[in-house]
Amino acid sequence: MARRDIEFDAEGTTLRGWFYPAEGASSTAPVIVMAHGLSAVKEMFLDKYAAAFSEAGLNALVFDNRNFGASDGEPRQEIDPVAQVRDYRHAITYALTLPEVDRNQVGVWGSSYSGGHVLTLGAFDSRVKAVVSQVPLVNGYENIRSLVRSDFIGGFRDMFDADREARFRGEAPGMVPAVSEDPLGPAAMPTPDSYTWFTETHEERAPAWRNEITLRSVEMLSEYSPDSVVERISPKPLLMLVAANDVLTPTELALATYEKAREPKKLVMLPGGHFDAYVKGFDASMIPARDWFLEHLTS
């Protein structure tokens, strides 16, 4: 069965995405709820993961984060991690209204920024029965410290304060590029592989993507730490997919978070860097995720 367009209410904001029915299902089937990472939109390979889950007999619900892509929300291009986690929960609530969905078998999948969101969801949402966290952002403060020169950080804080005062006066939010060709240029994701992947994927698959986010998004990123609640996921099964050479969400931070998690858990090391999971390493990341959900949601 082909995917269908969906939309649902998230406390007054309409979020939009796709629903992929489980292929071959004769009755209700589990559902995997999915959203993308920092500034990304659903066309940036989430369709491939959702289709693979559907082919394996799992329903998949994919949506654009608020303020991005096809979803409503203002200010545009603003990323509030707390609101994004809440929207995952709205998406789960919506999924449970669909006739194809087994209400007792909900999995969540996230990658990069949303890889952190699903850790938070696993810790707090009792409806979630299995978690897959791919190349996750686990601690925004430490992540930024690993990417931004220490002598630049004070300047960022001054920018955050000035932006807050400007917004109080009614001015438009300050903006910053999501990625930059210059590794030393201002950008939320200042790594060469970030620039390459986003620009190439934008041209090939996601014309709606915009290379900017609000400055406040970076401030909220610095205050977000899913690693602080990872112990609470247990006894829900957790799979973490960590790239061996991840310089955007550093490998060592993800591994330290995995060590904090309690059983049942599993670690799969992916070859390459952060973005390889979506393209040349797609099978290496998709197959363990698919099998994890099949093991823990259909048994």
State the DSSP string of 141-205.
Answer: HHHHHHHS-HHHHHHHHHHHHHHHHHHHTTPPPPEE-S--SSTTSS-SS-SHHHHHHHHHHHHHT
pLDDT in tens, 50-65: 999 999 999 999 999 9
Q: Is residue 167 part of a domain?
A: no
Identity (one letter) of the amino acid at 67? N
pLDDT in tens, 210-253: 999 999 999 999 999 999 999 999 999 999 999 999 999 999 99
**CA of 24: how far to CAs of 28, 50, 119, 298, in Å?**
11, 15, 30, 14
Mean pLDDT, residues 279-289 taken together = 97
Q: Is residue 214 part of a domain?
A: no
CB count within 10 Å of CB 1 equals: 12
Q: Is residue 213 part of a domain?
A: no
The kind and range of the H/E element at 267 are strand 265-270
CA–CA distance, 281 with 259 (Å, rounded to integer): 24
| Residue 140: pLDDT over 70 | yes
Answer whether 127's CB lies under 8 Å from 92's CB. yes
Q: Is residue 164 part of a domain?
A: no
In this prediction, residue 171 carries a pLDDT of: 96
Number of domains in the chain: 1
pLDDT in tens, 264-277: 999 999 999 999 99
- φ and ψ of 277, to 5 deg: -60, -30
pLDDT in tens, 151-202: 556 667 888 899 999 999 999 999 999 999 987 777 889 899 999 999 999 9
pLDDT in tens, 171-183: 999 999 999 998 7
CATH code of the domain in which 48 resides: 3.40.50.1820
Q: Is residue 182 part of a domain?
A: no
CB count within 10 Å of CB 77 equals: 19
Give this prediction's pTM: 0.96
Q: 265: domain range?
A: 4-142+225-297
Q: Is residue 169 part of a domain?
A: no
Q: Is residue 194 part of a domain?
A: no
